[in-house]
Structure 1
Amino acid sequence: MKGSRLQWAALMASSLPGIAALAALLFTWVSVEQSGKQLQIAERGQVTGRFNAAVGNLASPAVDIRLGGLYGLERLMRDSPHDQPTVVTLLTAYVREHTHGQVGGSADARPATDVQAAMTVLANRDPKHDGSGDFDLRNVRLRHLGYMGMWDRVRQRVIGINFPEADFSAADLSDADLGHAQLAGVVMTGTALRESTLNGTELADADLTGADLARSHLVRADLRRVQAAGAHFDETDLTRADIEDARLERASLVRASLPGAILRGADLRQADLRDADFTEADLTGADLTGAKNLSTAGFDGAILNGTRGRPS
């Protein structure tokens, strides 16, 4: 019996270092977990502090301080993608409030420095973190908006801004440079885009109902399935644009340039085609029924297979 007790005591003695090590490991794990939670709390507090400071700067009467607030929000989006939807909503509201109702004035007037900066910050964000961010830019006045894209040295091509499904209803984007932009599904009903640059821009499934794109440039633009009833494309350059299955009924294409454009299945009923140039365009299955001034349009080398209301 005495021997058994001695053996048990010896076993316990030999186990103590392991038990102590296990206890130390558990203590370390609990400490690390608590430290991690405290660190997360501290980081969230820091993010909140940075956000509040940036927002406070936006209310400053000094443009340089407002710019600091805008770039502070840009850094915050990069450091804390979780907060990007809130920042996007805030920045679009900032642009609306600083441009809404600005009518008249000089035709050469450009967006204020801070407004251009806010749009550039939005353009350079990572769209995959947008979440429920509200991209509401209705009624904004961004005449002569400067180019916001960038050159991708790796892919050796221009990367345009990315505002998918944004709402630009009734906005003024005349003479804006939106070349190579990703604007799929945007809402631009009644939007002024006169003399704007949209070369290579993706506008598939966009709503351009009643929009004014007179004298704008849409070379090789993607306009597949756009809703553009009643829109104005007078003297617009649509060279080699993809306008397949677009709804262009009652649209005005007076003296529009469409050489090599793809208009397969496009709806051009009652559209005004006076002096429009469809040289070598593909109008397979397009509907020209009731089109105005059809006899003055040029169709040299155009593909007209299955085109309804086709020119004689």
Structure 2
Amino acid sequence: MALAASSIPGIAALVALLFTWVSVGQTGAQVRIAEGGLVTGRFNAAIENLAASAVDIRLGGIYGLERLMRDSPDDQPTVVTVLTAYVREHTRGSAGGSADTRLATDVQAAMTVLANRDPSRDGSGDFDLRNVHLRHLGYMGRWDRAQQRVIGINFPEADFSAADLTEADLDHAGLAGAVMAGTTLREATLNGAELADAVLTDADLARSRLVRTDLRRIEASGAHFEDTYLTRADLREARLQRASLVRASLPGAILRGADLRQADLRDADFTGADLTGADLTGAKNLSTADFADAVTKGARGFPSQSQR
């Protein structure tokens, strides 16, 4: 009896501890449910704002989704899908801006929010910007004082097929692996941008600026680079079959192993460019291009005496 009596306080303490553990677990579950309800409420409120007629209310919805995306990373795929759909719906036909008008404020805001997200959290988000009309798209980067560099503009592997990005400001943009087949990028600025492995088949980049741009292994057959600035651009192993490089400026560009078969090189400037191992078989107007100080060792399609 004495032993049993002495055990009662210990049992009572154990029961109390178990009760506390269960209570804490229940409280935690209740908190998670409450947080889930709060997130849902914020999401629904933002969606309602997107449908408003007043642009300031729509902007509130866009920035509300941005805050939600940061506070709840698991919801980023859904937010990305919603915002890309918003951009598509609001840039149909001439809505994205004519040749003389600026891009709508809310569309610019949505694109800026998308550009500054963390792409690693996209998950199964639908980043579909095909056929969008984004003429005069403004700059979306942000200056990071701590790192002393531009951050943001993250569009890796995004689908911009057949989009109109005339005069878009995409300097330093992350577009590695992006699909831009048939996309219009006339007079766009892509200086220092990352476009490695991007698909630019039949894209129009006439009079655009791609100074020091990473264009390694791009698929750009049939693309237009007339009067385009490609100074010191990295075009190693770029596929440029049948591309038009008429009057293009490529001083100091790296074209090692590039495929330029049947490309039109009329009056192109390759001064000091590195064309080691490039293939220019069947290139048009080769004799009118300027290859002063260019490295052409192992390049195909050149007269043998011009190899250096």
Question: TM-score under structure 1 normalisation?
Answer: 0.95
Structure 1 unaligned spans of 5+ = 1-8
Question: Mapping of 1:7-86 within 5 angstroms?
Answer: 9-86=1-78
- Cα distance between partner residues in 1 of 2:20 and 2:242: 74
Distance 1:225 1:57, change over 3 A: same
Q: 2:256 aligns with which of 251, 255, 264?
A: 264
Provide, for residues 67-105 of structure 1, a one-character-per-residue CA deviation record: whole Å limited to 9, x for no partner: 000011001001111010000001000000000222797
Deviation at 1:11, TM superposition (A): 1.9
Deviation at 1:166, TM superposition (A): 0.5
Equivalences, count: 304
Provide, for residues 8-39 of structure 1, a one-character-per-residue CA deviation record: whole Å limited to 9, x for no partner: x2222222222111111100000010111111
Which AA in structure 1 matches 2:144? Answer: D
Q: 2:190 aligns with which of 186, 198, 203?
A: 198
Which AA in structure 2 matches 1:90? Answer: V
Distance 1:106 1:97, change over 3 A: closer
- Cα distance between partner residues in 1 of 2:97 and 2:109: 21
Q: Is the 8 A contact 2:238 2:259 kept in 1?
A: yes
- Cα distance between partner residues in 2 of 1:169 and 1:254: 24
Task: Give the secondary structure class of the aligned counterpart of 2:248.
Answer: coil
Question: TM-score under structure 2 normalisation?
Answer: 0.96
- Cα distance between partner residues in 2 of 1:99 and 1:118: 12
Distance 1:206 1:59, change over 3 A: same
Task: Give the secondary structure class of the aligned counterpart of 1:186.
Answer: coil
2:121 maps to 1:121: no
2:271 maps to 1:249: no
Question: Mapping of 1:1-312 within 5 angstroms?
Answer: 9-102=1-94, 106-311=98-303, 312=306
Q: Which of 1 and 2 has greater Rg?
A: 1
Deviation at 1:113, TM superposition (A): 0.5
Which AA in structure 1 matches 2:146? Answer: V
Which AA in structure 1 matches 2:113? Answer: V
Which AA in structure 1 matches 2:66? Answer: E
Provide, for residues 32-53 of structure 1, a one-character-per-residue CA deviation record: whole Å limited to 9, x for no partner: 1011111111111111111111
- Cα distance between partner residues in 1 of 2:141 and 2:237: 28
Structure 2 unaligned spans of 5+ = none
Which AA in structure 2 matches 1:306? Answer: G
* Cα RMSD after superposing both structures: 1.2
- Cα distance between partner residues in 2 of 1:283 and 1:124: 36
The share of aligned pairs that are identical, in percent, is 80
Which AA in structure 2 matches 1:56? Answer: E
